[in-house]
Structure 1
Amino acid sequence: MNKKIATALAALAAALAPVAALAQAATPVGLWKTIDDESKAEKSLVRISEAGGVLTGRIEKILDPARQNEVCDKCTDERKGKPMLGLAIIRNARHDSADASVWTGGDITDPNNGKTYRLRLKPLAEGKQLEVRGYIGPFFRNQTWIRVE
């Protein structure tokens, strides 16, 4: 009897694994490769994590070896002079109650120019890509980031 239960539970777990993976993939939580929207060059890896329903994204790796020790000289808040590695560039994003496919309400900082923009995150391609929109008023800029994990 125990062998039948163990076999049934294993089959159930195998059947539910793709559903769990899809649910995880449909969120911005994870590790993302950032792509410059103008040059199309791979720039960094950003890890987006969730705590208490709030998303934070930190630079985990800079892909250009010459930029490993840079600091955010152009930031104008408490991040000024802080190392780029570990820098929180996404802050306070939450799942949008009006549109379940996006996360909004936070901000994103471009450490290259120090400017902070309102933020919208939208998973695409079954969670394999992330549309990252920074905007001020009606003006916005999109980047598409690629899921690493």
Structure 2
Amino acid sequence: MKKNIFLAGIAGLILSGNLFAADLTGIWQQIDDKTGSPKALIQISKDSNGTFSGKITKITPRPGYTPRETCVNCPAPYTNKPILGLEVFKGLKLEGENSYDDGRILDPLSGKTYSLKGKLSQNGKRLHLRGYVGIAAIGRTQIWIRQE
């Protein structure tokens, strides 16, 4: 009996760790893939259809960069919307163990949108997001860091 309770407890810990690792919800620090500097804080939430979306909650000041206030070159419905509070990605869904796909991401500086896929680290603290056009091999990857 004690052995069964112990094994059930161990299984519960393993499962809860996997569930946490697959859950993207929370605040993430976006890191610029070109400079390595923090860019913004992104709030990721789970939508009613089971996909994930993210919006900008804070723009991180960087040396030599004056942040834009609105999304000037962005397509509708983002045109001239404030960047703070802007939904920068949506539709990202869990496809496998810690793997995500089928999302769309907006670059508010260029106004371009890209297909999006991601991979969450085993410990759930780093999110590798890849934006691309056509095939994923041609694109850019950013690493976002979960904020406690």
TM > 0.5:
yes
In structure 1, the partner of 2:54 is: 57
* Cross-structure match for 1:30: 26
Alpha carbons of structure 1 residues 21 and 83: separation in structure 2 relative to 1, 3 Å: farther
Q: Where do 4+ consecutive residues of structure 1 move more than 6 Å? A: none
- Cα distance, 1:19 vs. partner? 5.7
Match of 2:80 in 1: 81
Structure-2 residue corresponding to 1:142: 141
TM-score, L = length of structure 2: 0.80
- RMSD after superposition: 2.4
**Quick one: which amino acid aligns to residue 39 of structure 1?**
T
| Cα pair 1:28 1:122 within 8 Å, conserved | no
The one-letter code of the counterpart of 1:100 is: E
Partners of 2:31 and 2:100 in 1: CA distance? 20
| Consecutive unaligned residues in structure 1, runs of 5 or more | 1-11
Report Cα offsets for 1:11-60 as digits up to 9, x if no partner: x99xx678636522332222100010001111100011002202110001
User: 2:33 is paired with a residue of what secondary structure?
Assistant: coil
- Which residue identity does 1:141 align to in structure 2? R
Map of 2:109 onto structure 1: 112
Inter-partner Cα distance in structure 2 for 1:18 and 1:87: 36
Give aligned-pair identity as a percent: 35
Aligned-partner Cα distance in 1 for 2:146–2:126: 6
Count of residues in Structure 1 that have an aligned counterpart in Structure 2: 134
